[in-house]
Homo-oligomer: A and B are copies of this chain.
Amino acid sequence: MPVGLTEQEIERVDELVGTRRKVARGMPLYLSGESFQSLFAIRTGFFKTEVVSEDGREQVTGFQMAGELMGLDGIGTGQHNCDARALEDSEVCVIPFNRLSELSREIDTLQHHFHKVMSREIVRDQSVMMLLGTMRAEERLAAFLVNLSQRFLSRGYSATEFNLRMTREEIGSYLGLKLETVSRGLSRLQDEGLLSVSNKNIRIHKLDDLKKAMSPRC
């Protein structure tokens, strides 16, 4: 949350958070087409966001964890443009968007912070475009795991040992691969000694080499 606020301002930002909401594993936080009213800040848990095209194609557009903001895609049209679904039992803070708008008009630090969050989401999406447009299957997997690793680390968890919350199919959808290719890729990274896979449990042995595996074949 933004720093550099007066105590009074902090109080007002606190009261901005309307309610909390629990979302059980597998349940939607919101669905595409629903009216957009609020943003959601994840307190605990893990989500995926997924877009469904007219012809029925599904694409996972991201995995979100504690501290991240969801729902930004709904501002433009007033309707949510993707489904957000909990991958484990989760809890979110509900942030009514019109109150956020009002308050950010009064507290410029809040305004600036909000703009930064939106901009970073754009940059994140662009790096996924790069991944999908230019990387080979094993490189995508390595990039995906390194990204997860860094995000766990920044939350105080281990960067080298964690449990995946999503299935191979969901990983594949996110990375533009089929689930079999994801499975083979993980097996291959394991064979190369970079990590151990046991179902959803990942132990990274050589994080440096995994980072190198994001780049074209050595």
Contact B72 A119 (CB under 8 A): yes
Contact A129 B132 (CB under 8 A): yes
Return A95 CB to nearest CB of chain B, in Å.
13
A160 / chain B contacts, CB cutoff of 8 Å: none
Return A28 CB to nearest CB of chain B, in Å.
17
Question: What's the number of copies of this chain in the assembled complex?
Answer: 2
Q: Which of A6-14, A55-63, A147-155 has 4 or more CB atoms under 8 Å from chain B?
A: A55-63
Q: Which of A75, A106, A130, A135 has the most CB of B within 10 A?
A: A130
Give CA–CA (A53, B127) in the complex, Å. 9
Contact A55 B215 (CB under 8 A): yes
Return A110 CB to nearest CB of chain B, in Å.
10
Instruction: Return 21 A-B CB contacts under 8 Å, by A number.
Output: A51-B126, A57-B130, A57-B134, A59-B134, A61-B126, A61-B130, A72-B122, A75-B115, A75-B116, A75-B119, A76-B116, A76-B118, A76-B120, A76-B122, A77-B119, A81-B126, A101-B108, A104-B111, A115-B118, A129-B132, A133-B174
Interface residues of A (CB under 8 A from B): 51, 53, 55, 57-59, 61, 72-77, 81-82, 101, 104-106, 108, 111-112, 115-123, 125-130, 132-135, 173-176, 214-216
* The 6 A-B residue pairs with the shortest CB-CB distance in the complex, in nearest-first order: A75-B119, A76-B119, A125-B125, A133-B176, A132-B132, A76-B120
